[in-house]
């Protein structure tokens, strides 16, 4: 996906769509269904493993990389899309996807680099 995105960005640059008028950096929370796991299952997932008793169907339906975050006092479970957007053209210049617990400032340098 990154290779395709970079190729598209190269084409935009060659066509004259260069980032010149400042950049917007923002993140959007992408919620996923809350997991109904036992405490033991949650502990296993937090260690980066998958519980042994989860069959292949259950593994496909669980989002083991998602995490919790709070925004404006409300809790969300899922991921974040971090975007760098050109202020004038509104084209997305760079992106990163993380679990929801990652603070926006932790990907700032990567987005602008």
Compute how many other C-beta atoms are within 10 angstroms of the C-beta atom of residue 27: 21
Domain spans of the chain, in order of start: 2-35+66-112
Question: What pLDDT does 46 receive?
Answer: 83
pLDDT tens readout for residues 5-39: 888 888 888 888 776 678 888 999 999 988 788 89
Dmax (CA) for the chain in angstroms is: 54
Locate 44 and state its tokens: 């296993």
**pLDDT tens per residue, range 48-104:** 888 888 888 888 888 888 899 999 999 999 999 999 988 888 888 889 999 999 998
């Amino acid at each position: 996906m990154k290779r395709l995105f970079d190729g598209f960005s190269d084409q935009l640059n060659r066509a004259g769509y260069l980032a010149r008028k400042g950049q917007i950096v923002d993140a959007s929370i992408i919620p996923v269904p809350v997991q109904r796991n036992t405490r033991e299952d949650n502990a296993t997932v937090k260690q980066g493993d998958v519980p042994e008793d989860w069959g292949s169907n259950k593994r496909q339906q669980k989002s083991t990389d998602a995490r919790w975050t709070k925004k404006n006092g409300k809790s969300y479970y899922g991921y974040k899309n971090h975007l760098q957007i050109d202020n004038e053209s509104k084209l997305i210049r760079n992106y990163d996807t993380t679990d929801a617990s990652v603070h926006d400032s932790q990907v700032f340098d990567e987005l602008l680099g």
